[in-house]
């Protein structure tokens, strides 16, 4: 159970057990009761959006080059702040990994099961795709299931995410 789930179990009304006893039973610190996370400021969101734009344009840029580009654009930001924002956003510069051209002989090779299959009827084979769409205040995820024979969209759903943290 996460800390946030434990905090939702607390009964803050005066009629129940004292908060200090509830926190002790849940194994939490009392100081965590009073912490209220702050929403990101408009400047921070604008900086993260600009970092994302630079990253989408040049995904091979790391924190050094992104910080340099931001400084050329007139923003006063240092590399450590760019690193922190990139870490919070879950992005990092694209770079080659170790032994990418060598096949791992221990890993199993899975066959492509549709190679010799003639798709001649509807509902014989379905495919799916997930697409991320950036909005002003977060992301929108589009999931679609499609019939390969008729190219008919069988089902789809939109899911939104909160503001970039």
For residue 3, the surrounding DSSP H or E stretch is helix 3-8
What is the pLDDT confidence band of residue 18, given thresholds at 50, 70 and 90? confident
> Which pLDDT score is estimated for 165?
47
pLDDT surpasses 90 at 61: yes
Q: What is the DSSP letter of 126?
A: E
What is the pLDDT confidence band of residue 124, given thresholds at 50, 70 and 90? very high
Token pair belonging to 32: 């965590």
| Rounded Cα distance, 83 and 63, in Å | 6
131-140: pLDDT as tens digits: 988 887 778 8
Query: Cα 115–117–119 angle (5° rounding)?
Result: 125
Distance of CA 42 to the CA centre of its chain: 20
4-13, 20-29, 57-66: least confident range: 4-13
């Amino acid at each position: 159970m996460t800390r946030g789930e434990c905090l939702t179990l607390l009964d803050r009304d005066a009629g129940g057990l004292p908060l200090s006893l509830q926190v002790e039973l849940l194994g939490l610190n009392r100081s965590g009761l009073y912490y209220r996370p702050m929403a990101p400021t408009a400047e921070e969101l604008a900086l993260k959006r600009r970092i994302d734009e630079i990253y989408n344009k040049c995904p091979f840029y790391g924190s050094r080059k992104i910080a340099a580009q931001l400084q050329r654009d007139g923003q006063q930001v240092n590399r450590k702040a760019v690193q922190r924002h990139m870490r919070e956003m879950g992005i990092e510069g694209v770079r080659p990994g170790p032994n990418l051209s060598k096949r791992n002989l221990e890993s199993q090779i899975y066959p492509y099961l549709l190679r010799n299959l003639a798709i001649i009827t509807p509902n014989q084979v379905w495919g799916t795709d997930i697409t991320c769409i950036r909005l002003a205040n977060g992301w929108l995820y589009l999931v679609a299931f499609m019939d390969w024979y008729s190219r008919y969209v069988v089902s789809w759903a939109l899911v939104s995410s909160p503001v970039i943290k």
